[in-house]
Amino acid sequence: MRDVRVQELRLHRLLTLAAITGSVVAIDLLTKAWAGRNFVGRTVEIIPVVLSFTYAENSGAAWSLFQNAGTFLSVAALVALTIIVASVWSPRPVAEVVGLGLIAGGAAGNLFDRLARGDGAFDGPVIDWIRFPNFPVFNLADTAITFGVAVLLVTAWRSR
């Protein structure tokens, strides 16, 4: 009976991870396509002096670090995704699974760009489109990763 319950909880964690990851990827890809249709070559101020939407291609990582390192970043994303899936095999709090799902979704969303938009297997640029003053342009995948890390940090802090 206990083994059945362990399997049910494991399946629940995996389904939760898959649902969050899939939702983040879908929303990220839809918004990147929308940005590509609406903001190439122009910037639209949404809240003057606070928020604008634009279109940028980034061959690096966050804040345009590691330019032209798409293969390295793609392999790192694949390793991270593998570790995340393996980690939810073990019992963890729901909040942790949510945080991991956000990180996995963000990593997968940006990985999809690298796979689908380049000449080689992993060298495509990532579409960024959200701009705040004095801050690098970013996308919803980046936002999901940031929120996922924040959820994990709060969860770890609260469990002390």
Active site residues: 128, 142
Provide the H-helix boundaries in the chain.
2-38, 70-87, 94-116, 140-158
Residues near 20 by beta carbon (within 8 Å), at least 6 away in sequence: 97, 98, 101, 102, 104, 105
For residues 56 and 31, what is the distance between their CA atoms, to the nearest angstrom? 13
Exposed e or buried b per residue across 49-86, where buried means at least 16 C-beta atoms within 10 angstroms of its C-beta: eeebbbbbebbebbeeeeeebbeebbeebeebbeebee
